[in-house]
A and B are shown apart, each in its own frame.
Chain A
Amino acid sequence: MNRIKNTFETLRRKGEKALVGFVSAGDPSVETSLEIIEAMCREGLDILELGVPFSDPTADGPVIQRSSGRALQAGAYLETVLEMTRKIRHKTDIPIVLFSYYNPILAYGAARFYGDAVAAGADGALVVDLPPEESEEMTSQWVGKDLNLIRLVAPTTPPDRMSAVAEGASGFLYLVSMTGVTGSGGLDLKEISQVTETLRERCHGMPICVGFGISTPEQVRAIGALADGIVVGSAFERIIESHLNDPQVAGKVGDAVRALKDATR
C-alpha cells in the first residue's frame, strides 16, 4: 500500500489539493505534540511532515529553529520521533513523511532507520541536506521500496538538474518556493508558476508540492492553482510558540489547519 500515492489520487478525483503540514516532533512536549498532530489530522490535514529535531538546522528560519530547540529539550530524538510515528499510525492512515537533517540518521544508522521507519508506519523521508550527489550512501542501505524518498527542488535548480533530482525521488517533489530559509517572507507567484511549469515537464508526472513561506488561506489558494500540494510549517509552529502553556494549543493549530484546508478545495 502506498499511502502517499493513494492520497494524491483521491484528492485528484475530488478536485482538491493536498495540504501538507510540518511540525517539529515533540514540540513543546512529546505528549502535546501528539495531541496537536491528532487535531491536525482530524481537521483535514492530508499529509504529515514530521520534523526530526536537529541542533543545527541550517535550512530553517528562526521559528523552526526555536521549535526544534524546544523539541530537543523535550528529548525528541530520532528514536522518540519513530515512537511517535508508531502512535500516530495506530490512530490514522495519514501519509507520514519524516523530515530530517542527515546527521541524526547517520548516527542512528541508515539501514536501521529504514527498517524502523517502515515498521513504525512512515511512508517517506526527506533529508534536507542530502542532495542527489550524496544520497546513495543512505539509500543503498535501504532494503526494500517501502519508504518514498522525497526530494527538494529549489528555484535555483537549473532545468536539467531538475530531471536528475526527480530521477531518484518518489512520492512527490517538494518545490521550495523561494531562495531562503523556512518561514521567510516574499512569495513571488509569477516565479513559482514558471518554476512549477518547468518542473512539471521533467518530473514524470510526480506530484509537486510547494512550500516555504506559505501561511494564509489566500496564499494556499494561489499556490493550489499551480501545484498538487501546499506545505505549511512555520505558520503552525508560530501558533504552538504563542500558546506554549495553553491547554487549547492543539485546538488552535487544528483551527488553522481547517482554514487552510478549506482553501485547497
Chain B
Amino acid sequence: MNTSAHGAGQSASFQGIAGAPDSRGHFGIFGGRYVGETLMPALLELEAAYTTMSPQPAFQQELRELLQHYAGRPTPLFAARRLSAKIGGAMIYLKREDLAHTGAHKINNTLGQVLLARWMGKQKVIAETGAGQHGVATATAAALFGMECRIFMGEEDIRRQAANVQRMRLLGAEVESVSSGTGTLKDAMNEAMRYWVGAVRDTFYVIGSVAGPHPYPKMVRDFQRVIGDEAREQILAAEGRLPEMLVACVGGGSNAMGLFYPFLEDPVEIVGAEAAGLGISTGKHAATLGAGTVGVLHGSKSYVLQDEHGQIQEAHSISAGLDYPGVGPEHSYLKESMRARYEAVTDQQALHAFHELCAMEGIIPALESSHALAQAMIEAARRPARDILMVCLSGRGDKDLGIVSEHMKALP
C-alpha cells in the first residue's frame, strides 16, 4: 500500500475543511444550538465574548503564560522505541498530555475557559465530568483564579474514579453526585445543564469536550489545538517531516480534535478510536460514530446512540471518559466527509494496550488513552518501519489503578 500517495489524495480533496463551523456553529449538517430559550442569550453572550476577547493579545499572552508556567507546556513528544520494535511496524510517537498539570489534556481547555470566564466577570464556574479529569482540571483552574466551583459527576463514576473525587474536593470544588440514568457522563451533563438554566446569570459553564451547543465545540477545539500545534512542530524538528498517521481516542472527542485539527488539510491519515466496550454486537459499547445515528443530544446535532424512537441509549465502556452516547459534532463532520476514520476498541484490547505501555515504556496510561494506543498498535503493525504514527497519550492512568486491578483479579 502506498500510504503517502493515499495521504496526498486526502489532502487535495480536503482543502477548506478546517474552516468549519459556519457563523451559526454548523459543521455541515452537524453542530448548531439546540437548547431551551433560557440558555440562548447566555450562549450568544459567550460566543460574543469568545470572539472578541480570546483573540486579544493580552488574553493570548495570559493563556500562553499559564500553559507554559502552570500547566507545563509544551508537553514532550516521545518516541516509543521499545513498543514500536516489539510490534515490528511503524514508529509510534506519543504526545505526552499525561505530563500536563493535573495529568491530562483537559487543563488546556479549562485554563482557556476559566480565563474567559474571568474576563467576562463571572465568579462561579460549573462543569460535568466523566472520568473526573475534566472536573479536576476545572477545579484546578477555579482554585487558581479564586472562583467558586461546582462539579457534576455520575454516581457510578464517583465510585470508579474515587481518587479524582478526592482531588476535586481538596481543590475546593463541590462535587454533586448525579444518580439519574446510569450515573455516568451523560447524566452528569444533563444535570449540569439543568443547574446552569437556574444559575445562568452569574455562572459560566465549562464544558469539557468538543460537544454541547455552539460555541463550545469550536471553542474547546481552539483551546485544545495546542496539542496538535506543538506535535506538528515537534515531529518536524525530530523527523523533518509530517507523520503518516494520527491516532487519538474519542469519547466526546476533545483530545482528538486538539491533535487532529492542525493537520486537517495535510496529507496525514486520521484515525479516531472509540470504545467498543464488551463488543459492538453485545450492545454494551460507546461507539457512537461506528454504531450510532444522527440525532440531537446536549445542544448539538451529531451522531448519538439512540433507539428508533429517538430515545438516547446507555453507553458502556471500562473507561469513564469514553462512556458517553454522544460525540462532538466536528467528529461527525470528519466522518461524513471521510476526512477521518473511526474504529472501535474493546475494553479487553484497551487493557492489553495499557499493560503493554506500562511494561515496554514505563508509562502508565489512562484507560481512555489506552484505546488510542490499542488502535495505534494495530495500525502500526500494518505499516513499514519508515512510517511515523503519532498517538495522543491524553492522560495518565493513576486514576484507573482500582479498575485495572479489579480486572486483573477477575482474570482466570
Contacts and interface: CB of A to CB of B under 8 A. Distances in A.
Interface of A: 54-61, 65, 72, 77-79, 101-108, 128-131, 133-134, 151-158, 161, 165, 176, 178-181, 184
Given A157-B37, A179-B198, A180-B198, A129 B310 contact: no
A156 B308 contact: no
Contact of B296 (A57, A59, A102): A102
Nearest to B214: A133
Contacts of B34: 102, 129-131, 134
Contact of B36 (A104, A107, A108, A129): A129
Contacts of B69: none
Contact of A58 (B33, B194, B309): B194
Contacts of B309: 77-79, 104, 107-108
A-B complex: 8 closest residue pairs judged by Cβ atoms: A107-B310, A154-B38, A180-B198, A77-B309, A104-B310, A152-B37, A55-B311, A103-B310
Interface in B291-311: 294-299, 304, 306, 308-311
Interface residues of B, number: 36
Interface string B185-202: 010001001100111110
Prevailing SS type, chain A contact patch: loop
Contact of A153 (B37, B190, B198): B37
B21 interface: no
B302 to A, nearest CB: 11
B312 A55 contact: yes
5 contacts: A54-B311, A101-B296, A108-B310, A130-B34, A131-B36
B228 to A, nearest CB: 30
B197 A104 contact: no
Contacts of A131: 33-37, 40
A152 B36 contact: yes
Given A56-B297, A104-B309, A181 B198 contact: yes
A228 B306 CA distance: 39
A105 B33 CA distance: 16
Interface string B25-44: 00000001111111111100
B180 interface: yes
B37 A154 contact: yes
Nearest to A162: B37
B33 A103 contact: no
B311 A134 contact: no
Contacts of B197: 58-59, 179-181
A105 B301 CA distance: 13
A78 B310 contact: yes
B24 interface: yes
Contacts of B190: 56-58
Nearest to B198: A180
B325 to A, nearest CB: 9
Contact of B40 (A78, A79, A103, A157): A157
B128 to A, nearest CB: 11
A69 to B, nearest CB: 8
Contacts of B304: 103
Contacts of A180: 38, 197-198
B24 A133 contact: yes
Contacts of A152: 36-38
Most buried by B among A61, A102, A129: A129
A181 B200 contact: no
A10 to B, nearest CB: 28
B200 A179 contact: yes
Given A106-B296, A128-B36, A179 B308 contact: no
